[in-house]
Amino acid sequence: MTIQFHQPGRPVRQEPMMSSTRDMLPPVIALPAPAPQPEPRFNLRHMSPRRFAEIAHELYLEGVLRWEEYQWIGYPSELHPDFDLTIGALTGEKAQPDRPRDMLGEIEDRIEFLKRHGGHQTPGFWRAERALDVLRRQGEPMAA
C-alpha cells in the first residue's frame, strides 16, 4: 500500500485499512417506545385531609392497615367539627379539610414529635410507625 500526499489540484486516494463492523450489521429497526413509568397508587404528598381519611379507611377495609394502626392515622384533626374552637384557636388557623397538602409529611412530623417528647413510650406506638411505613409504600410506583 502506498501513501499519497495531497498536492494542489491532485485528488487524494485513500484505501480503508479494515472494514468496520457497522458495515456488516443489518439496518437498525425502530424499537417500541419504552413502557411508561408505573404510577403510585396514591399521591399522599398532595392530598386533602378529607381524601386522606377516605384512603386510610379504604386501606383499613382492604386489610392493609390494622384497626389500631388506622386509629393512629385515619382521622386528620381538621375533620373534627370543633377544630376551629380547639386546635384552630391555639394555632390561629381555620380548618381547611379540602385544601391539598403533604399529608404524609404531616404524619411523619407527628411521629417525630412523639419521639422527641416521649410519646414513643406510649404502648402501641410501634403501630403508628408501621402505619407510616404502609402509607409510604402507597406512594411508591405500583408494579405492573
Give the residue numbers spanning the domain of 53.
Answer: 49-138
Q: Tell me how many domains the chain contains.
A: 1
**47: which strand partners?**
101
Is 36 contained in some domain? no
Cβ burial, residue 40 (10 Å; 0-12/13-18/19+) = middle
Counting residues of the chain whose pLDDT is more than 70, the rounded percentage is 78
Alpha carbons 77 and 68: distance in angstroms, whole number: 17
User: What is the mean pLDDT of the segment spanning 128-136?
Assistant: 92
Is the distance from CB of 99 to CB of 48 less than 8 angstroms? yes
Name the pLDDT band for 61 (thresholds 50, 70, 90).
very high
Alpha carbons 107 and 85: distance in angstroms, whole number: 22
CA proximity to 105, closest of 52, 143, 142, 63: 52
Average the pLDDT over each of 25-29, 41-45, 48-52, 108-112 and give the range with the smallest value. Answer: 25-29
pLDDT at 14 over 70: no
Cell of 78: 381538621
Is 93 contained in some domain? yes
Counting residues of the chain whose pLDDT is more than 90, the rounded percentage is 47
Q: What is the dihedral of CA 88, 105, 137, 42, to 10 degrees?
A: 60
Name the pLDDT band for 21 (thresholds 50, 70, 90).
low
